[in-house]
């Protein structure tokens, strides 16, 4: 059994129509993968959040948008851009994910490392959601810690294959938060935001070039910004077989990336919060196995 604090809730899985493109079942499969790797026991072992409240979420999102999510009254265009139904179950899942990342951040401050077995909804911006992202859990958690005075400076390391455009827009004028995004240059979103540091990679980028880019960008971010906590979006959609990815990382490359991030950050004594990010595959068990790599690297980092 690992000493890694893991935040999870059974309602991270919300019902969707058969054939929906978002692999909602991966969260349940991930729990099974973590049990198989002895990172969780068969019964319990995780820390379950309560849903985040209106005021906390509205600290980074337009209150009228938050209200429409809470009351299941999203406009048809908002539902289309979001790509998820405006149901009560999806709203609850989004609120739990926000609370889960906030809880993981508090645990990371206490224990050095913690992970939320969801989160990374980085396309949700100041005015609303997009791209399967209802609320920006990392942005809300960062804003919460800053407002409480728990931290003064935050680094967000986003290695999902899609740019963290919502996060960049939320913190565009906030010098306390440094946003780093390493992503596919030609992938979604078509209109990129401006992070503090963006690295757009060409289609087909493979392990060696990708790892070099991440290493250089992370080292530069740590020189430019001395954070009190780091949020790490460990999306596995840079994987070569990901149906939305367009990059060419192997399973071993994803594992090496996660080990690199935790080794670099933990060597500096920085608390690290891991969140799941994206990953798209019809083979959900294989997808869950790739997401489990984050937790393996985090468990190793927890011992540093």
Specify the DSSP element, H or E, that contains 81: helix 76-82
**DSSP per residue, 149-205:** TS-S-EEEEE-SSS--HHHHHHTTT-TTEEEEEEEETTSS-SS----SEEEEEPTT-
Check if 122 is active-site: no
Confirm if 197 and 168 have CB atoms less than 8 A apart.
no
Within 8 A by CB and 6+ apart from 175, the residues are none
CA 203, 206, 212: angle at the middle one, nearest 5? 110
8 A C-beta contact, residue 180 and residue 157: yes
Is there a contact between 249 and 239 (Cβ–Cβ < 8 Å)?
A: yes
Neighbour count for residue 196 (Cβ, 10 Å): 19
| Local structure of residue 57 (DSSP, 8 states) | H
Residue 286: what are its φ and ψ, rounded to 5°?
A: -65, -40
Contact between 73 and 91 (Cβ < 8 Å):
no
**Beta-carbon-side half-sphere exposure of residue 199 (alpha carbons within 13 Å):** 21
Choose, from 61, 123, 162, 291, the residue flagged as catalytic. 123
The DSSP letter of residue 272 is E
Contact (Cβ atoms closer than 8 angstroms) between residue 272 and residue 110: no
Using DSSP bridges, classify how beta strands 6-7 and 177-184 pair: parallel, antiparallel or unpaired.
Answer: unpaired
Q: Find out whether the peptide bond into 189 is cis, omega within 30 degrees of 0.
A: yes
Task: Name 36's Cβ contacts closer than 8 Å, sequence gap at least 6.
Answer: none
Residues assigned a catalytic role: 123
């Amino acid at each position: 059994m690992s000493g890694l604090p893991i935040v999870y809730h059974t309602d991270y899985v919300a019902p969707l129509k058969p054939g929906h493109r978002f692999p909602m079942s991966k969260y349940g499969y991930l729990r099974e993968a973590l049990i198989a790797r002895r990172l969780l026991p068969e019964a319990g072992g995780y820390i379950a959040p309560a849903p985040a409240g209106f005021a906390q979420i509205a600290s980074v999102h337009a209150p009228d948008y938050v209200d429409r999510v809470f009351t299941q009254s999203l406009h048809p265009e908002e539902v289309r851009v979001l790509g998820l139904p405006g149901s009560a179950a999806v709203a609850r899942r989004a609120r739990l994910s926000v609370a889960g990342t906030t809880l993981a951040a508090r645990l990371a401050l206490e224990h050095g490392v913690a992970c939320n077995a969801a989160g990374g909804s980085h396309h949700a911006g100041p005015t609303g959601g997009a791209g399967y992202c209802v609320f920006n859990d990392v942005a809300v958690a960062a804003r919460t810690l800053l407002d409480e005075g728990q931290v003064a400076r935050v680094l967000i390391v986003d290695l999902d294959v899609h740019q963290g455009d919502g996060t960049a827009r939320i913190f565009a004028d906030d010098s306390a938060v440094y946003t780093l995004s390493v992503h596919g240059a030609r992938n979604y979103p078509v209109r990129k935001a401006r992070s503090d540091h963006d690295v757009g990679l060409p289609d087909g980028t493979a392990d060696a070039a990708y790892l070099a880019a991440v290493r250089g960008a992370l080292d530069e971010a740590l020189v430019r910004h001395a954070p009190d906590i780091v949020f790490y979006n460990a999306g596995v959609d840079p994987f070569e077989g990901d149906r939305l990815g367009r990059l060419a990382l192997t399973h071993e490359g994803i594992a090496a990336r996660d080990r690199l991030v935790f080794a670099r950050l933990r060597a500096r004594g920085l608390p690290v919060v891991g969140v799941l990010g994206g990953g798209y595959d019809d083979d959900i068990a294989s997808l869950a196995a790739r997401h489990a790599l984050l937790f393996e690297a985090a468990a190793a980092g927890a011992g540093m």
